A and B are shown apart, each in its own frame.
Chain A
Amino acid sequence: MTGRADIGARRDEASGEWFDGLAEGRLLLRSCPHGHASRPEVLACDVCGSADLGWTPAEGRGTVVALATDHSGGVATLLGIIELVEGPWLITRIEGRPLARGEAAVVRVVFPVEGEPYPVVTAAD
């Protein structure tokens, strides 16, 4: 954890089930009847446009697409775009050893003192 990342995640009406999933240690994605997975905020499937959306747990594995490092406060916080094996991108903090683009990552759920749980990633090994 970084000192600056203590801005608590807060649920709203749309995100309650998603945060409930995280509370149980699962990263949920939107899924349509054709089996496509989309990011949780979509109102229509990213792939086929279906509005018939349920929730499906992600495998929790992906690959780093892009990186950024926040150097403020004298601490380097590595952030990344992680392409989940299901297709959608997870944009979050990379914890533990730094990862390079193209490297495998696994999802882990952080339970902060304040605010809702949220996903981060770490090295797969």
Chain B
Amino acid sequence: MAAIVGLGLTEVGKVYGKTSFDFAAEAVRAAAEDAGLTLADLDGLLINPGMAKPGLDLSLARRLGLRDLRLLTQMTAFGASAGVMVAMAAQAVESGAAEAVACVFADTPRSASSSGADAYRATSLQARGFRSAETAAGLLSTTHRYALAADRYMSTYGVTHDELGAVATSQRRWAAMNPVAAVRTPLDLDAYHASRWVVEPLHLLDCCLVSNGGAAVIVTSSQRARDLRQPPVHVRGWGQGHPLPPLRADSTFGLSTGAKASGRAALAMAGLGIDEMQLREIYDCYTYTVLVTLEDYGVCKPGEAGALAASGAFGPGGVLPTNTGGGQLSSFYLWGMTPLHEAVTQVRGQAGERQVSEHDTAIVSGNGGILEHHSTLILTSEVAA
């Protein structure tokens, strides 16, 4: 089995004057240091570039001074990338193809003059061909498409804005206890409702932050992990799901995601049930994705996660601690590294004031594209239950 033994996070958020390469190098060095390893101990590097151009590429390895690597590639499944990278690293370690693999993401979508939403919008605006007709008609960004997904989900199941808002307020309560969270001020439902529409039905406070920064993890064998500096976080299971339903009559678009197949596969590999997960670190590019992902993972039935959110189940003191660092909504947005970073921190027992008392098992999600790509990791403090 493989384990995550190193965790590196740069300063994140409104951090300017550094390139994605600077952030990535800093994150990999920090992760190695955290593990008690040197860069010379690494024989694998998996690189996930973000949205800003120029983004990370294979030259990162040479520029970092890594030598004689046995595994090196640049990969993306967009928001699902972190889980995909860790799974690939785990497979490499388990097969003997590599011994210690760094997985890194870094991005610089923000600038002093741009919120970063522009970096994401630019991708739509540069569209050519069929998709450019949708852009011309007003589908200007990812958020426009997620708004349609959320509308379908909300109207089908009767999910309310109070319920979406409960995701945002629960996570803000966690963020208040997270020193690296960008937004720690209290948030109530009134403030949530008062936040402007970005694209209705999504308020500003339904949408994640946009952050500059980098994060990395180091994966090695569970056996070797025992001799390293940090409590090992074992990679017990992983899965992917890319359902890609045709956009036509009877499509499940908005109602169900790749989390269903991905979660099922990851839990089966781990030999654990969803009810045995003590932590849920869920990709929350929007409040809505938390709800639909938890439903697809089997935490509750379709359409019921909103009521759970409103009951307080996901927040501090709740029965289903979820996005315990504040998530992408309130802490920072480094794609799938956000939920992964929090899961590793919690499973290690290093989450300080926000530490969840039972923290031996975590399910971690990644969601990429417009609900098109999904990855899941099952992380545990022990090799076997």
Give A residues with C-beta under 8 Å from B.
2, 4-5, 7-12, 14-15, 18-19, 22, 38-42, 46-47, 65-72, 77, 79-81, 83, 87-89, 91-93, 101, 110, 112, 115-116, 118-120
Contacts and interface: CB of A to CB of B under 8 A. Distances in A.
Given A39-B247, A71-B200, A7 B128 contact: no
7 contacts: A7-B125, A10-B132, A11-B128, A68-B144, A92-B138, A110-B137, A115-B136
A15 B247 contact: no
Given A7-B125, A69-B197, A83 B133 contact: no
Contact of A119 (B137, B147, B148, B197): B137
Interface in B196-230: 196-201
A67 B155 CA distance: 10
A2 B138 CA distance: 8
Interface stretch (B98-106, B248-256, B267-275): B248-256
Nearest to A102: B155
B248 A87 contact: yes
Given A46-B246, A67-B151, A18 B130 contact: yes
B196 A71 contact: yes
A25 to B, nearest CB: 14
B151 A66 contact: yes
A102 B144 CA distance: 20
Nearest to A18: B130
B152 A81 contact: yes
Contacts of B152: 65-66, 81
B200 A92 contact: no
A9 B201 contact: no
A52 B196 CA distance: 47
A66 B254 contact: yes
B134 interface: yes
Given A10-B129, A66-B152, A120 B247 contact: no
A9 B135 CA distance: 7
B131 interface: yes
B247 A91 contact: yes
Contact of B200 (A42, A69, A101): A69
10 smallest A-B Cβ distances: which pairs? Answer: A68-B147, A46-B246, A118-B133, A12-B129, A9-B136, A69-B200, A66-B152, A15-B129, A92-B137, A93-B137
A14 B248 contact: no
B124 to A, nearest CB: 8
Nearest to A41: B130
Contacts of A119: 133, 137
Interface in B6-22: none
A50 to B, nearest CB: 13
B129 A11 contact: yes
A41 B129 CA distance: 9
B151 A70 contact: no
A9 to B, nearest CB: 4
A125 B297 CA distance: 43
Nearest to A42: B246
Given A68-B200, A77-B138, A115-B136, A91 B148 contact: yes
Nearest to B249: A87
A89 B151 contact: no
Nearest to A68: B147
B51 interface: no
B140 interface: yes
B58 interface: no
Contacts of A38: 246, 248
